[in-house]
Amino acid sequence: MNHVEQEITDLIREYSKAVSTADRHSIPSFYLPDALFMPHGIVTLSKEEITKKASGKYLEATKFELQYQVTDINHQQDFAFVNAEATATST
């Protein structure tokens, strides 16, 4: 794995950790202003809603566990395309 691929893998791992630990302060840093957090079968949250106290409690109460397995990374200059398989559970 080269340097760029390692950085991409680390970023995905950090995102997974932020969601799994309900870190409502760092989760929005992974999203553009108009992006949505859309876990399957769970309420959709905007970037703004994730940062609100109630959403943090929601994520904690849901006990959302997210893991990714990166299967392929294709990068050229300033762009990268990543194939990753997500495993998500919630209670």
**Residue span of the structural domain in which 33 resides:** 3-89
Please give the pLDDT value at position 72: 95
> What's the predicted TM-score (pTM) here?
0.78
Please give the pLDDT value at position 53: 60
Q: Is the pLDDT of residue 55 over 70?
A: no
Q: How many domains does the chain have?
A: 1
| CATH code of 14's domain | 3.10.450.50
Residues near 46 by beta carbon (within 8 Å), at least 6 away in sequence: 35, 36, 37
Q: Is the pLDDT of residue 76 over 70?
A: yes
Provide mean pLDDT across the span 80-90: 88
